[in-house]
A and B are shown apart, each in its own frame.
Chain A
């Protein structure tokens, strides 16, 4: 079995890739996909720690984050669709109504 360090580094890489996607995508749906990747990386960390400690609570926490992420995606996509109906665009750079 590879060491704990290997799991944590892979998760950190996925997290950094997701952050890159959030920072560079212009489409709101693309930004949501980057957030998905970041939350997945966190789940890998939680399950790896649960395995190393031999404790079920880490698995429970990972299950909670999975369910909360799914709720977040459902609401996020509903917001994207509403924004599209009102503004006819989901380009994040053009959604600057609140810019001072």
Chain B
């Protein structure tokens, strides 16, 4: 077993454990902290897949941005009423059955699809290729993404404004 394989499985175990903690822990604040662990582990898996730029984007946007946003939302909605909102989950058995069925369905589809082809050699410089694709053939989609972000920002501001 090579170090790369060992590292991948160690990261996968961390990712799966943190994901389970996100959905099972009764305290929502702990849930967000475990989500940060899961997101960083996902970024490390991107590193194993030779995508260092996405690792950086994952850290900046998710672990830096989304987690802070969610912590703010929890603090704004939990303390104002003076009582802690019950975080208890419900329908655990039903949820587990549906989630297991979806997982079995996906794996069944993967098995049915047959063995994947051998991996091609990785791109020599994935970040440079990504940059050329953004300003080249996919420039319009990239600009539309910018418009979407501005629209989302304005929408969030409009929702959260004081009357």
Contacts and interface: CB of A to CB of B under 8 A. Distances in A.
A29 B23 contact: no
Interface residues of A, number: 71
Given A17-B20, A63-B57, A56 B130 contact: yes
A95 interface: no
Contacts, number: 239
Given A54-B120, A91-B85, A18 B23 contact: yes
A1 B95 contact: no
A91 B77 CA distance: 11
A84 B77 contact: yes
Contacts of A47: 45-46, 49, 51, 54
A37 B126 contact: no
A36 B66 contact: yes
Contacts of A34: 22-23
Given A12-B103, A21-B22, A27-B28, A74 B152 contact: yes
Interface in A1-29: 1-10, 12-21, 23-27, 29
A73 B117 contact: no
Contacts of A91: 85-86
A78 B156 contact: yes
Contact of B23 (A4, A20, A71, A73): A20
Contact of B159 (A5, A43, A56, A78): A78
21 contacts: A5-B116, A13-B16, A15-B106, A19-B102, A23-B95, A23-B98, A25-B23, A30-B89, A36-B66, A47-B51, A48-B49, A51-B51, A52-B116, A54-B120, A56-B129, A68-B145, A74-B69, A75-B159, A77-B69, A82-B159, A89-B85
Interface of B: 2, 4-5, 8-9, 12, 15-16, 19-20, 22-23, 28, 31-32, 35, 38-39, 42, 45-46, 48-51, 53-54, 57-58, 61-62, 65-66, 69-70, 72-74, 76-77, 80-81, 85-92, 94-96, 98-100, 102-103, 106-107, 110, 115-117, 119-123, 126, 129-130, 133-134, 138, 141, 145, 148-149, 151-153, 155-157, 159-160
Interface of A: 1-10, 12-21, 23-27, 29-30, 32-34, 36-37, 40, 43-44, 47-48, 50-54, 56-57, 59-60, 62-64, 66-75, 77-82, 84, 88-91, 93
